[in-house]
Amino acid sequence: LAYRPLQPYSWKPIEGGGRRLFSPHLKNGAVVQVAAAWEFADMSAFRSTILSLPLEIRTDPTPSVKFRSLRGKNLEFTYGEVPRVNGAAIDYAKWPLFGGPFVEADVDSERLTLKHGKLRRTLDFRTLQISDR
């Protein structure tokens, strides 16, 4: 996991132990990139790759960040605007309610599919039925 705050920060101790990342800047954000351990020879290779990727940060007048992801996509985020991927605005109307490796559901479908390996369980809230595949 690579975490890059957009503004300066410090670590503050937490009562009972541990520390908390703190930044007093109101115009702030973070870039997070994630990869599986097997994708890189070691942490040094991961760090080197992350640091070699283009990153452009602007905080005034409006917070904005542009960067290339580990997967090669160019991402642009500006506060108050629709994010862009490879220059195209994200169309949130086409997003599912849930869309991941374990749970799927379309907006207003009233159906939820739970997945684990080859197993599938669909909960149909419209008909109050459960089906397994």
Give the contacts of 92 (CB within 8 A, at least 6 positions apart): 82
* pLDDT tens column, 42-87: 999 999 999 999 999 999 899 999 999 999 999 999 999 999 999 9
Provide the pLDDT for residue 111.
Answer: 98
Provide the pLDDT for residue 34.
Answer: 96
Report whether 95 contacts 103 (CB < 8 A).
no
Provide the pLDDT for residue 90.
Answer: 96
Query: Strand 88-89 to strand 98-99: parallel, antiparallel, or no bridges (unpaired)?
Result: unpaired
86-94: Cβ within 8 A, 24+ apart: none
| Mean pLDDT computed over every residue of the chain | 96
Which residue ranges make up each domain of the chain? 2-90, 96-132
Residue type, 19: R
Q: Which helix (H) or strand (E) element contains residue 131?
A: strand 129-132
Cα dist from 78 to 2, 27, 54, 87, 130, whole Å: 20, 11, 16, 13, 42
Phi and psi torsions of 68, nearest 5°:
-100, 130
- What is the average per-residue pLDDT within 29-47? 96
Rounded Cα distance between 82 and 62, Å, is 14
Residue 8 pLDDT level (bands cut at 50, 70, 90) = very high
